[in-house]
Amino acid sequence: MTHLGRIAARLTTVNSPKEGYRYVPPMRLNAWLARAGVASRRKADELIKDGRVTVNGEPGQLNTFVQRTDDVRLDGKPLVKQELAYVLLHKPAGVVTTASDPQGRETVVDLIDLPTRVVPVGRLDADTTGALLLTNDGDLAHQLAHPKYEVDKVYVVQLWKQPTDGTLRKLAEGVNLEDGKTSPAEVRRLAGSTIELTIHEGRNRQVKRMFEAVGYRVKALHRAQYAHLTLKGLEPGQWRELEPSEVERLRATTKPPRAPARR
């Protein structure tokens, strides 16, 4: 089935009973299209610019906001905003962390069998394995990726040679990279040349670059934990939807601490 065919199979009226009558705040059109499983926000912008999207019979604009009861159509076919979905994947080696790949390689999205389109939060290199969160909740994904919320990512790193204790102290204090010094990290030796590293930043290839900066090359890299989420019960390539309590805990992670009450 083609991509548009899958969209057509999900067509329904906008007044979905799942939405009920609770207040749903307006959403920018490109974000609404992403929630409908049409495309990423960037590609949704292209659809809007090409005049293929209408809202209540009028051509959609980049600054259009959509209400719950609005009639949104792509190429004349009505769409419905999807339910939010949150997935934890045990990413195997050799799979790329993207929604689509121009080289035709298998992607993490290909591994997820859900009617709802989800996209990865952050990236793992093709040869890196481990915990990867995917969702269509763009607001939460943006917050989780923002360094100010300091979401912990725990990695198990295998090196080609055993590092010294002094090297591990340097990593813990932060090392200088071309895009700035890294924040302090938690570092402990698991066995010989196998190191556990906990960071809360999400720079491109950060773990590998940190070890390269202190003179060591990474042999294998595995993300064992993302925030509070571990891979217990998941083999490489397997995934599961998060429990509501796990989603709420992720949301709590991205909330600023409350100011102490005045006496």
Catalytic machinery residues: 125
Our measurement of the distance from residue 154's CA atom to the centroid of its chain's CA atoms, rounded to an integer in Å, reads: 16
Give the whole-angstrom CA distance, residue 249 versus residue 133.
14
End-to-end CA distance of the chain: 63
148 burial type by CB count under 10 A (0-12 exposed, 13-18 middle, 19+ buried):
exposed
Give the whole-angstrom CA distance, residue 174 versus residue 214.
11
